[in-house]
């Protein structure tokens, strides 16, 4: 008999009754150090007092009004993101997949509006992840996500990640844009080099394409900059965000330059819940913390501490861990042993992580993580390696 909740997830038989900072407390009494953060979502940890206060205050005022009316907290959040990014405007969504849907529509509408309606194809990278809607699994590509859902929507070409020769060779007369993640998350924590991102900017400028960065996982402070592409010193035309910007509340956004957004005029796109007052209040509260003096600098520093400590462990147990990779607090342990089994052992020892491609265990701790919690996490990783070799 099918379960009341549709069985689309391979859930672990574990549930949590509360969280506090970097810790989750299970209903069976166990405490876990949370280095998954709900897949890079709870960027300020659990039960953050500033987020609770913002959400509670807004909940006492008004929850939902629809986008038929002005939403002052949304306008304030948009103005703050505009002030701190390349973007001139944005569309609020409920998730990263919706943000990418918006970006795909924006790309096609841009070319239609500027006299090139035949340009609609988007080049994406292999091992990427852009969402689970029909169009975003087409953008993602790969048998794992598309099997059984054919026919897959047309309009996407896939090339090897970090390969500019393949990228150039894939450009056709009907190519409209390039869409990549500055750091591939689901693909195995694979950071793009600054040179690769700079080359993509140059290619887009040369061929009249829009450059779209999917920063759903790598953005909102995760790498030590507000957005990961900032490390490369270039800007996209369009960027999608979600996960961390809501700190655990469902929200996302598609940010764009005024030029790129020329086609998205009144009536061309919409959302009933996107930009909801509750989400906007939380988004502003997240930014309050992220934009405070020294916060992102600390993320970069503490990310370096964690990476160095993990690299020491990997060097000590080369038959278990092959490599530590990533950026800031978006790190991956590439395993020599099966990563799924290694992640299970980490959890049994008290550390929650999340899997990824290329036999990698993802470490995505909250950005507020302290050195004491890093000591604890590294000790668990080392114990797990030690147990594995004995």
Non-local CB neighbours of 12 within 8 Å, separated by 6+ positions? 347
Reported confidence tier of residue 253, pLDDT bands at 50, 70, 90:
very high
Q: Token pair for residue 291?
A: 């934009």
Tell me the per-residue pLDDT of 36-62, one tens digit each, with 9 for 90 and over.
Answer: 999 999 999 999 999 999 999 999 999
DSSP string, 242-286: -GGGGTTS--EEEEE-TTGGGG--TTS---SSTT-HHHHHHHHHH
Question: Residues annotated in the binding site for N(2)-acetyl-L-ornithine, as ranges?
Answer: 132, 271
Q: Token pair for residue 218?
A: 């790598």
**Contact of 254 with 287, CB cutoff 8 Å:** no
Pairing of strands 210-214, 16-20: unpaired
Q: Token pair for residue 123?
A: 């080049």
Question: Residues annotated in the binding site for pyridoxal 5'-phosphate, as ranges?
Answer: 96-97, 129, 214-217, 272
The alpha carbon of 317 is separated from its chain's Cα centroid by a whole number of angstroms, namely 30
Reported confidence tier of residue 316, pLDDT bands at 50, 70, 90:
very high
Give the C-alpha separation, 110 to 118, whole Å.
11
- Torsion angle of C-alpha atoms 245, 371, 25, 16, degrees rounded to 10: 30
Taking residues 187-193, report their average pLDDT. 97
Q: Where are the domains of the chain?
A: 68-291, 293-323
Non-local CB neighbours of 87 within 8 Å, separated by 6+ positions? 81, 239, 255, 256, 257
Give the C-alpha separation, 292 to 387, whole Å.
41
Question: Residues annotated in the binding site, as ranges?
Answer: 96-97, 129, 132, 214-217, 271-272
**Contact of 128 with 161, CB cutoff 8 Å:** yes
Non-local CB neighbours of 3 within 8 Å, separated by 6+ positions? none
Longest dimension (CA), the chain: 66
Name the residue among 311, 229, 313, 290 with its Cα closest to residue 44. Answer: 290
| Alpha carbon distances (Å) from 161 to 35, 61, 127, 227 | 26, 46, 8, 19
Q: Token pair for residue 256?
A: 């764009």
Question: For residue 143, with 0-12 CB atoms within 10 Å meaning exposed, 13-18 middle and 19 or more buried, which class applies?
Answer: exposed
Fold entry, domain 68-291: 3.40.640
**Contact of 219 with 227, CB cutoff 8 Å:** yes
Give the C-alpha separation, 102 to 112, whole Å.
15
Angle, helices 371-388/339-348, rounded to nearest 10 degrees: 120
Give the C-alpha separation, 187 to 345, whole Å.
22
pLDDT number for residue 348: 98
pTM of the complete model beyond 0.95: yes
Q: Token pair for residue 144?
A: 């794992």
Tell me the per-residue pLDDT of 121-142, one tens digit each, with 9 for 90 and over.
Answer: 999 999 999 999 999 999 999 9
Taking residues 252-271, report their average pLDDT. 97
pLDDT mean across residues, the chain: 97
Give the C-alpha separation, 14 to 343, whole Å.
14
**Contact of 240 with 215, CB cutoff 8 Å:** yes
Any bridge partners for residue 332, and if so which? 325, 362
Residue 390 has pLDDT above 90, yes or no: no
The alpha carbon of 377 is separated from its chain's Cα centroid by a whole number of angstroms, namely 22
pLDDT number for residue 156: 98
**Cis amide prior to 282 (ω within 30 degrees):** no
Q: Token pair for residue 384?
A: 């797990």
Q: Among residues of the chain, what percentage have pLDDT more than 70?
A: 100
Name the residue among 244, 373, 350 with its Cα closest to residue 32. Answer: 350
């Amino acid at each position: 008999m099918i379960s009341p909740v549709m069985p689309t997830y391979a859930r672990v038989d574990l549930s949590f009754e509360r969280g506090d900072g970097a810790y989750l407390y299970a209903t069976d009494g166990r405490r876990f150090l949370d280095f998954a953060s709900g897949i890079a979502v709870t960027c300020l940890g659990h039960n953050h007092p500033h987020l609770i206060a913002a959400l509670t205050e807004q909940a006492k005022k008004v929850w939902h009004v629809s986008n038929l009316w002005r939403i002052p907290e949304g306008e304030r959040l948009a103005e703050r993101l505009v002030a701190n990014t390349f973007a001139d405007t944005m569309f609020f969504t409920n998730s990263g997949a919706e943000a990418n849907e918006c970006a795909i529509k924006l790309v096609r509408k841009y070319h239609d509006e500027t006299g090139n309606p035949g340009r609609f194809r988007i080049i994406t990278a292999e091992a990427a992840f852009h969402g689970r809607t029909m169009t975003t699994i087409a953008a993602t590509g790969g048998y794992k996500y598309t099997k059984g859902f054919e026919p897959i929507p047309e309009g996407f070409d896939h090339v090897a990640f970090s390969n500019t020769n393949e990228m150039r060779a894939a450009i056709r007369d009907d190519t409209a844009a390039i869409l990549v993640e500055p750091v591939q998350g689901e693909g195995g924590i694979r950071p793009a080099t600054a040179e690769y991102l700079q080359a993509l900017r140059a290619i887009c400028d040369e061929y009249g394409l829009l450059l779209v960065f999917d920063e759903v996982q790598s953005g909102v402070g995760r790498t030590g900059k507000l957005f990961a592409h900032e490390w490369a010193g270039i800007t996209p035309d369009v960027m999608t965000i979600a996960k961390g910007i809501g700190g655990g509340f469902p929200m996302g956004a598609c940010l764009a330059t005024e030029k790129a957004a020329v086609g998205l005029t009144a009536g061309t796109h919409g959302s009933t819940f996107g930009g909801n007052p509750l989400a906007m209040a939380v988004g502003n509260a997240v930014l309050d913390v992220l934009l405070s003096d020294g916060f992102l600098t600390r993320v970069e520093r503490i990310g370096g501490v964690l990476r160095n400590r993990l690299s020491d462990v990997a060097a000590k147990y080369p038959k278990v861990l092959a490599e530590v990779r990533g950026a800031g607090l978006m790190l991956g342990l590439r395993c020599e042993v099966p990563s799924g089994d290694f992640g299970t052992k980490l959890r049994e020892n008290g550390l929650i992580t999340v899997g990824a491609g290329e036999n990698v265990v993802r470490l995505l701790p909250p950005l507020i993580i302290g050195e004491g919690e890093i000591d604890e996490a590294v000790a668990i990783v080392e114990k797990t390696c030690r147990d594995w070799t004995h």
